[in-house]
Every structure is written in C-alpha cells, then in structure tokens.
Amino acid sequence: MKKVLNILVRLGAGVLVGALLGSFGWMSVSGLFSLYVAHFPRYANIFGSVYGVALAGFWLYICISIFFYGAVLNRILWKPLDKSS
C-alpha cells in the first residue's frame, strides 16, 4: 500500500482486473477504429477534414469511456482497507 495525497492506495492485484479490462478494451477499439478508417475513406473525400476531427473526437470519447468503465469495475470490486492496520 502506498500513501497518495493522504489516502491509502492499494496497488497490485486489487486494480489488475480493471486495468486489464481497460487496456484490452482500449487496444481492441483502437484496432477496430484503424480498420474502419482504412477501409471507409469515401466519407473523408466528401466531408474533408471535418470528418477527421469528428472521428478523432469519437475515438477519444470511446477510449475515455473504456477507461472509466475499468475504473468503475475496480471500484465495484474494491474492499475497504482496515483502519487498524
């Protein structure tokens, strides 16, 4: 356990599930997103750079959502630390 900003933080196996889920989800979404961008370029020809900005924003939104889902999973699985130890 480490003390970060006056709070005891549990590192290691306690956060591993959410971290692995978040990492796997992030890599999966990024791979699928790159396939989409590579195989559907016709919209970029129509809408130009606005399409690229919109896609980048959508990708960031999905990745941040996955990050938060991993954090929520860690919070659900979290067990409070004993104050006596």
Eight-class DSSP state of 81:
P
Q: What is the DSSP letter of 79?
A: -
What is the rounded distance in angstroms from the CA atom of residue 59 to the CA atom of residue 47?
A: 18
Is pTM beyond 0.75? Reply is: no
pLDDT of residue 40: 81
pLDDT, one tens digit per residue, over 32-69 is 999 988 888 787 778 888 888 888 999 999 999 999 99
